[in-house]
Amino acid sequence: MLQKRNQRSVLNISVRKIYKVKLIQLLTMQYDTIVVGLGSAGTTAATTLARAGRRVLALEAQNRIGGRVNTVQFGDGVVELGAEWIHGINPSRVYDTAIKNNITVLSQDLTMDAYTSDGRQADKELVNELIEYCLGQVENTTNDNQPLGDFLTKKLKEHLNATKPSVLEDEDFMENFLDLMDQVVGNYEGSNSWNDVSTFTHYQELSGDQHMSWHRNGYKTFFELLLNTYQGGPGLPNLNIKLNTEVTKIVWPQKPLTPVEVTCSNGEVFKADNVIITVSIGVLKERHTSLFKPSLPIDKVQAIDNLTIGVMDKIVFTFDKAWWPNLHTFFAFLWRREEKKKVLEEDRWITKIFGASTPLGSSNTLTLWTSGDAGKLVEKLPEDVVKRKCIELLQRFLGANTTVPEPTGMLRTTWFTNPYTRGSYSYDSVTSMKYPNSRADLGKPLVDSAGVPKVLFAGEATDLTHFSTVHGASDSGFREAMRLLPSSKL
């Protein structure tokens, strides 16, 4: 009897050991590549590798795919809380993906209807002409690292002195317009001020329309097409996706043929031949010291420290029906000097909402735009305060001949406070352009002692010329996937 008990005891111990071994094997399942983050860069990298036959695990900390692209149902259609447009069409991986799959994208006219803070309509033609002139001068900047705002102000005044001296003499208008232009640049760059932005930049526009909208399809369609899930597609068999899975540690080896080990906040551990990191530069700034073991080399740390990420936020309202003058347009807000002075200090953030647009994805929604420190503040204010002050703002500028109705819903973005983004997108600042090789340094892979890539870096901030865009992020993901693949595999 005792012998049988001992046998059973030994058997139970053996069974427990087998289960423990199997559990460890399960928790340390090995892949060819692990992709961290499923924004545009991560999704492109993961799907490129999976379609080439590689076994890929994609780990996404949030509960959705898309990263800084976020299409949500709102109003009578969809709105974009993240990236709004396809910026340029040639050569654009994003645009090409839509066209090859017979998805219609629409050009959105962003000609501005301008209003002043006393409820009057401003000179629309003049405002748009001057905005177009200033944006055109951005292409004529030199390689001198100076504040963009100072450069554009100088150019605009020279232009007006030669063509419209009476406008230049109107001090109130000039102050209002320069403030508006500051915020227009701020929304393009995500900067706090146009004087944070450098005239020295490597950014290059793609040719073609700069504001192509996915309209009622939503930007999410791009990801569905990449993942083969559009209209109920089956996905990709070689790609395993885990949402709500935050990566907390990446152990990268120097010894050849040793896997990278990725640990997640839920205790899961995964191994792969290599890992592609696609998180934002904001997240890397905050977490790189605790995320990587061993620590990143000094050139990588300096690149992370030197690059600049901005904040661009939206406040989106839905109404029972459209009440604004034009169905699809952009409203620019010009504050008159005396009225701006009367705004209470705690409400000054409303003067940094430079305009409102009507999304093509929904006919009864209105998007208000802000950036920089004002955007960071709006993310933290009580929702009822943001709602009330924004409706008062709309009434002030657009309500001369109408009463702005109570909205039926409100959404606001939180790109800065979101721990998995910590900002909207990178830009070339006066500070960062003192170190013009930072993007290239960030994009270099970490290799083992045999020179084999173990940790690769993608994301919009690593693209040398198309940073801050979805197509730039996608290109960077493709770039790193191809670093691991011979082209004949595709």
Per-residue pLDDT at 16: 58
| Distance from C-alpha of 66 to C-alpha of 70, rounded to nearest angstrom | 6
Q: Which residue has the higher pLDDT, 190 or 407?
A: 407
**CB–CB of 36/247 below 8 Å?**
yes
Using pLDDT thresholds of 50, 70 and 90, give the confidence band for residue 6. Answer: low
Contacts of 36 (CB under 8 A, 6+ apart): 42, 59, 247, 250, 262, 275, 276, 277, 278, 279
Q: Which residues are CB-neighbours of 382 under 8 A, at least 6 positions away?
A: none
pLDDT confidence of residue 9: 53
Q: Report the alpha-carbon distance of residue 420 to residue 316 in Å, rounded.
A: 22
Q: Global pTM?
A: 0.92
Q: Which of 260, 247, 244 is nearest to 287 (CA)?
A: 247
Whether 353 and 369 have beta carbons less than 8 Å apart is answered as yes
Tell whether the model's pLDDT for residue 22 goes beyond 50.
Answer: no
Mean pLDDT, the chain, whole residue set: 93
Asked if 214 and 202 touch (Cβ cutoff 8 Å), the reply is no
**Which of 13-22, 35-44, 330-339, 405-414 has the least mean pLDDT?**
13-22
Stated as kind and residue range, the H or E segment containing 71 is: strand 71-74
pLDDT, mean of residues 283-311 = 98
The pLDDT of residue 329 is: 85
- Does residue 113 sit in helix, strand or coil? strand
**Structure confidence by residue, pLDDT tens digits, 203-237:** 999 999 999 999 999 999 999 999 999 999 999 99
* Structural fold of domain 29-61+245-307+436-489: FAD/NAD(P)-binding domain (3.50.50)
Q: How confident is the model at residue 381 (pLDDT cuts 50, 70, 90)?
A: very high
CATH tag for 69-231+312-414 (out of 3.40.50.620, 3.30.365.10, 3.90.660.10, 3.60.15.10): 3.90.660.10
Burial class (CB in 10 A: 0-12, 13-18, 19+), 126: middle
For residue 4, the model assigns a pLDDT of: 45
pLDDT in tens, 48-62: 999 999 999 999 999
Model confidence over 336-380: pLDDT tens digits?
A: 989 999 999 999 999 999 999 999 999 999 999 999 999 999 999
Q: What percent of the chain has pLDDT over 70?
A: 93
Going by the DSSP 8-state scheme, the letter that residue 445 receives in this structure is: P
Q: Are 74 and 407 in contact (CB under 8 A)?
A: no
Chain position carrying tokens 């932005």: 197
First to last CA, the chain: 65
Model confidence at 21, pLDDT cuts 50, 70, 90, reads: very low
Confidence of residue 140 (pLDDT cuts 50, 70, 90): confident
pLDDT greater than 60 at residue 7? no
Q: Read off the pLDDT of each residue in 139-167 and give the average, rounded to a whole number.
A: 93
Euclidean distance between CA atoms 228 and 439, whole angstroms: 31
Model confidence band, residue 488 (pLDDT cutoffs 50, 70, 90): very low
pLDDT at 394: 96
pLDDT at residue number 326: 79
As a whole number of angstroms, the distance between CA 187 and CA 194 comes to 10
Identity of residue 187: N
Cα–Cα distance for residue pair 311/337, rounded to 1 Å: 26
Domain boundaries, the chain: 29-61+245-307+436-489, 69-231+312-414
Q: Are strands 292-293 and 269-277 parallel, antiparallel or unpaired?
A: unpaired
Can you tell me the mean pLDDT for 301-314?
Answer: 98
Count how many residues are written for the chain.
490
Percent of the chain, pLDDT > 90? 89
CA distance 203 to 373: 24
Q: Is the pLDDT of residue 26 over 90?
A: no
Residue range 154-210, pLDDT digits in tens? 999 999 999 999 999 999 999 999 999 999 999 999 999 999 999 999 999 999 999
